[in-house]
Amino acid sequence: MEYIKEIFKYLKRTSPAQNEFYQAAEEILISLKPLIEKYPQYKKHKIIERIVEPERQILFRVNWLDDNGEIQVNKGFRIEFNSALGPYKGGLRFHPSVNAGVIKFLGFEQIFKNALTGLQIGGGKGGSDFDPKGKSDNEIMRFCQAFMSELFRHIGASTDVPAGDIGVGAREIGYMFGMYKKLTNKYEGVLTGKSLNWGGSLARKEATGYGCVYFAKYMLADCGETLKDKKCLVSGSGNVAIYTIEKLYHLGALPITCSDSRGMILDEEGIDLDLLKELKENKRLSLSEYTKFKPSAKYTPIAEYEKGRNNVWSTPCYAAFPCATQNELNIKDAKKLLENGCKCVCEGANMPSTPDAVDLFVERKIAYGPGKAANAGGVSVSQLEMAQNASMLKWTFEEVDTKLDGIMENIFQTASTTAKEFNEPSNLVLGANIAGFRKVADAMIEQGLV
């Protein structure tokens, strides 16, 4: 479609060397072709040209002192992408891989993910190339305070409400909230993922992983299947992966893998969830320690992975849950999964499958849940945390979890109904992209040229 191609040319000229952003934009915009052809008002109002440009891009320097008294310098980012549906909402990521292209891809995806939830939140993302690994608590505190000393100018409870992401958990949120409160003299729900002691929501920690499994449950129910007694592969060992594994157990499935930046665990008896939480949540250790406590499991370091492959996806399974990071599952991995009988892939991470892997899943008509739909549980419960803060109420774990389950069912039904509307009933990529885009686009048209 020539119209879309011209927009890609524009993006590559005006946002050079942002490959992750190009990938995210291409995946979404190409699938909009049937919508644009059927409803020309979106082209008339130049919605695509407007939606690919962030409303605001904030880039700043972060100076902080390490434990040796040495000055360290990092880059800070906040991309406030689209506020048509509500305040900007999206996480902060602290990781060495963070750059403008990564943050823009995450922020762009967040627009449509948030729209799919049915909640009143816009899309944004932020972070820094700061690496929390190997840093002391005091160094992390000083960095978070320095980061917030600039970010505070741009956020607020009804303006932009960041959350956590990779490298940013309750500890980091706490340090940033403390500095925000000191600088503004306001005690408000400006960050989500807060401690339960001071405004956090029950089930927030579990939300992305739980939501991903709920989405898989509804995808499979639509095919007359369940996860009960099925072998499942999970990548990652952070927050999303841990609580994906936990919810899989709740539904009677058998998760047998997890991974980190150094290697993977294969435990045919089922991942020992208590041991995984102890290693990763409490002690922050490598998964290589797992086999010391569970000798029957197998640890494979990354150095021994097959070249050009992620070995997590090599074991026969019924369902796979990529929960680590972007582009972790490529075409070779996808072919291996299908060869080994995988019937369902549900994404807990943001854009974890490469475009050719996604195309293969869609072509084979397996139950494939794209990240912008399947991993929307985290931002959904973040918004529920905002609602609790605004009303000064606190809901029970069961209340929040029940609302999360309902939101994920609604996201599946919305994506599925939209896919059927455009005559591709098994293509939830198309369904999710069109449904999310259409909601934001209609709001932009109604709010005028702003």
The whole-number pLDDT of residue 24 equals: 92
The whole-number pLDDT of residue 2 equals: 87
**What mean pLDDT value characterizes the chain?**
96
The whole-number pLDDT of residue 1 equals: 73
> Tokens 């069109």 — which residue?
434
* Cα 225 to Cα 363: distance, rounded to the nearest angstrom: 20
* Cα 133 to Cα 143: distance, rounded to the nearest angstrom: 13
Question: Count of CB atoms within 10 A of residue 127's CB?
Answer: 28
Intervals of the chain under pLDDT 50 = none
Side chain identity at residue 317, one-letter code: C
Helix (H, G, I), strand (E, B) or coil at 84: coil
* Cα 266 to Cα 271: distance, rounded to the nearest angstrom: 8
Q: Exposed/middle/buried for 415, CB within 10 Å: 0-12, 13-18, 19+?
A: buried
Question: Which residue ranges form the domains of the chain, and what is each CATH number?
Answer: 1-17+25-49 (no CATH), 54-188 (3.40.50.10860), 207-374 (3.40.50.720)
Element (H, E) at 234: strand 231-234
* H-assigned helices in 270-322: 273-277, 290-293
| Cβ–Cβ under 8 Å, residues 137 and 172 | no
* Cα 172 to Cα 168: distance, rounded to the nearest angstrom: 5
Question: Count of CB atoms within 10 A of residue 360's CB?
Answer: 18
Both structure tokens of 15: 């946002």
* Catalytic residue ranges: 125
Distance of CA 218 to the CA centre of its chain: 19
| Cβ–Cβ under 8 Å, residues 99 and 130 | no
The whole-number pLDDT of residue 160 equals: 98
The whole-number pLDDT of residue 208 equals: 96
* H-assigned helices in 32-136: 33-38, 41-44, 47-51, 100-116
Triad 395, 113, 343: Cα angle to 5°: 100
Instruction: Give all strands of the β-sheet with 71-82 in edge-to-edge order.
Output: 56-65, 71-82, 123-128, 88-94, 160-164
Does residue 315 come out as left (phi exceeding 0), alpha (psi in the -120 to 50 range) or beta? beta
